[in-house]
Amino acid sequence: MEPEVGQAVHALTSRWARSLPAGNSVMSALGLWPLLAIIATAADEPGRSELAEAVGLPPDTSAARGAGLIRGIDASHDLHAALGVWVDESLKLSESFGEVVPAELVGALTGDLARDKAKLDAWAAEHTDGLIKEMPIEVTPDLAVVLATALCLRTTWVRPFNEQIKQVYDGPWAGGSWHWLNRTDADLTTLKRYDGTAAGALTVATVTGDADVDVLLAIGEPRAAQHDVLAGLLQAVADPDGGRSGTDLIGGGVGDEVSPAVRVAMSTTPQPVVQLSLPSFSISMEHDLLDQAELFGLTAVMSDPGAHGHFSAISPTPLRLGQAKQAVMARFFAKGFEAAAVTAMGMMRTSMPMEQERKLVLDLDRPFAFTALHRTTRLPIVTGWLATPTEPNA
């Protein structure tokens, strides 16, 4: 992956993470970024500049780099990625369409709403291994173009967890019983303390997968804000060599809290270990990206485009972005982790202003003649004259 692309995806992730709602939440900027990159190349001004700022790369090349990112991700062992584009069969395409979207990715929308929905849903399910069963946009009569990405991640822990039911007595979860995961790890470097993050001091634990995906878990001080902890975690992601590892932290005194939620204790094992415990979790969400259009650079392209549309590189038919949604889920359990995201955008036809044509107007407002003509023989059947209207005024 190009370093610039990685930095751009990371920047989008950081911005979006700060705006996530309170409570359980999950999102995938990696699933969204390639679509923003593609429509940035396709967009006309002023949407082109707005999208380019959200994408973080020049729009001339961002479509190709977005498609390249999906291909690169799909080469991963644990992570599958796909890009799909569907175009209404009746939509005229611009000559530059192939420069925006690779031809081999393009499928057809038939106009049969039920059939098109089934096709899109099947694609979403296929490319997420059934974790997400439906494309998160509506199939409507004015839907002209659909662009979508799908991500699917399944990994197994190198060191699995034990699972038990645990009663929590203190803190915000007090009084509840939960499925709790526990394990010990002799690798002290899987635990780190980062200072000076957006949340202040931050503890980051790495849970290693058996192929090419790990999961990082982060916790701050009890009063740390959600968006600051998320921002701090992403700072840690960008600085894998930073922080103080468990090999330093274990030197603290027994009973000391040496990092948020981390204390030093005596062990029954012959060597130092990290003991990690957390609740298993499963989170699913759907994001309407147009609700945060400014964050994603979508404000201009979702507006009424008038006669010329926002995406002349796709079609001379006026188009606007009418839908942009993401369905995403993540599950952390005893043996591994799985996640999936389907991000989709729908471009809609807009009503075109009718051209003003000249017309001829005939008002029969005085006496006139009439005849009934046999069409084949041209014989008049009845002929007459109307001197005065015969029907009374209503």
CATH of the domain at 118: 3.30.497.10
Q: Is residue 165, in this structure, part of any structural domain at all?
A: no
Instruction: Quote the percentage of the chain above a pLDDT of 90.
Output: 61
Asked whether residue 180 is domain-assigned, the answer is no
Q: Which residues pair with 185 in a beta bridge?
A: 274
Task: Assess whether 142 and 202 both reside in one domain.
Answer: no
Contact yes or no for 24/133 (Cβ under 8 A): no
- Give the domain-ending residue among 219, 243, 272: 272
* pLDDT for residue 341: 95
Q: Within this chain, do residues 200 and 76 fall inside the same structural domain, yes or no? A: no
pLDDT band at residue 354 under the 50/70/90 scheme:
very low
Same domain (yes/no): 203, 144 = no
Task: Tell me what pLDDT residue 137 has.
Answer: 95
CB-based burial of residue 199 (10 Å sphere; 0-12 exposed, 13-18 middle, 19+ buried)?
buried
Q: Is residue 168 part of a domain?
A: no
169 in any annotated domain: no
Give the pLDDT of residue 4. Answer: 92
Has residue 130 got a pLDDT over 70?
yes
Q: Please, are residues 279 and 181 in contact by the beta-carbon 8 Å criterion?
A: yes
Nearest Cα neighbor of 296 from 33, 86, 92 is 33
107 forms beta bridges with 86
> In terms of Cα–Cα distance, which of 50, 147, 132 is closest to 345?
147
Q: Which residue has the higher pLDDT, 271 or 357?
A: 271
Which pLDDT does position 390 carry in this prediction?
Answer: 61
Q: Can you tell me the mean pLDDT for 87-107?
A: 88
State the amino acid at position 270 in one-letter form.
Answer: P
Residue-wise pLDDT for 197-228, tens only, equals: 999 999 999 998 998 889 999 999 988 899 89
Asked if 128 and 150 touch (Cβ cutoff 8 Å), the reply is yes
346 to 46, 144, 353: CA distances (angstroms): 19, 7, 22
Q: How confident is the model over 271-280, as a mean pLDDT? A: 91
Which pLDDT does position 351 carry in this prediction?
60
Domain co-membership, 309 together with 210: no
pLDDT the model gives residue 370: 57
Residue 105 clears pLDDT 70, i.e. is over it: yes
Residues 6 or more apart whose CB falls under 8 angstroms from that of 304 comprise 320, 350
Q: Are strands 336-349 and 79-88 parallel, antiparallel or unpaired?
A: unpaired
Query: Within this chain, do residues 102 and 28 fall inside the same structural domain, yes or no?
Result: yes
Give the span between the Cα atoms of 18 and 227, in whole angstroms.
5
Average pLDDT of the residues of the chain? 88
pLDDT for the residue numbered 394: 45
Please check whether residue 390 lies inside any domain of the structure: no
The single-letter code of the amino acid at 141 is: P
- Is a pLDDT exceeding 60 seen at residue 382? no
Same domain, 29 and 139: yes
Whether residue 324 is found in the same domain as residue 263 = no
Higher per-residue pLDDT: 45 or 388: 45
Please report which confidence band the pLDDT of residue 290 belongs to, taking 50, 70 and 90 as the band edges: very high
Whether 161 maps to a domain, the answer reads: no
* Residue 56 confidence (pLDDT): 96
- d(CA 239, CA 235) in angstroms, rounded, equals 6
Residue 301: pLDDT band (50, 70, 90) is very high
Q: Is 52 in the same domain as 106?
A: yes
Same domain? For 23 and 148 the reply is yes
Task: Report how far residue 279's alpha carbon sits from residue 172's, in angstroms, rounded to the nearest whole number.
Answer: 14
Q: Are residues 19 and 138 in the same domain?
A: yes
Give the domain-ending residue among 242, 272, 302: 272
pLDDT single digits (tens) 47-86: 999 999 999 999 999 999 999 999 998 988 888 999 999 9
Residue 387 has pLDDT above 50, yes or no: yes
Whether the predicted pLDDT of 308 surpasses 80: no
Longest dimension (CA), the chain: 118
* Residue at 9 is within a domain: yes
Give the domain extent around 250: 187-272
Cα–Cα distance for residue pair 100/106, rounded to 1 Å: 11
- Same-domain pairing of 109 and 11: yes
| E strand map for the chain | 79-88, 106-109, 143-156, 162-167, 177-185, 191-197, 200-208, 214-220, 244-245, 257-259, 262-263, 274-279, 281-288, 319-332, 336-349, 368-373, 380-386
Helix 59-74, helix 29-42: angle, nearest 10: 140
Instruction: Kindly tell me if the per-residue pLDDT of 353 is higher than 50.
Output: no
150-189 pLDDT, tens digit each: 999 999 999 999 999 988 888 888 888 888 899 999 999 9
Task: With respect to residue 12, please indicate whether it lies within any of the assigned structural domains.
Answer: yes
Residues 250 and 293 in one domain: no
Q: How far apart, in whole angstroms, are the C-alpha atoms of residue 187 and residue 201?
A: 21
Domains: count for the chain: 2
Tokens of 319: 């188009």
H or E stretch at 8 = helix 3-18
Residue 171 neighbours by CB distance under 10 Å: 7
Lowest-pLDDT choice from 234-243, 282-291, 292-301: 234-243
For the cut 80, the answer to whether the pLDDT of residue 104 exceeds it is no
For the whole model, what pTM was predicted? 0.86
pLDDT above 70 for 17: yes
- Above 60 in pLDDT, residue 356? no
Asked if 311 contacts 345 with a C-beta cutoff of 8 angstroms, the reply is: no
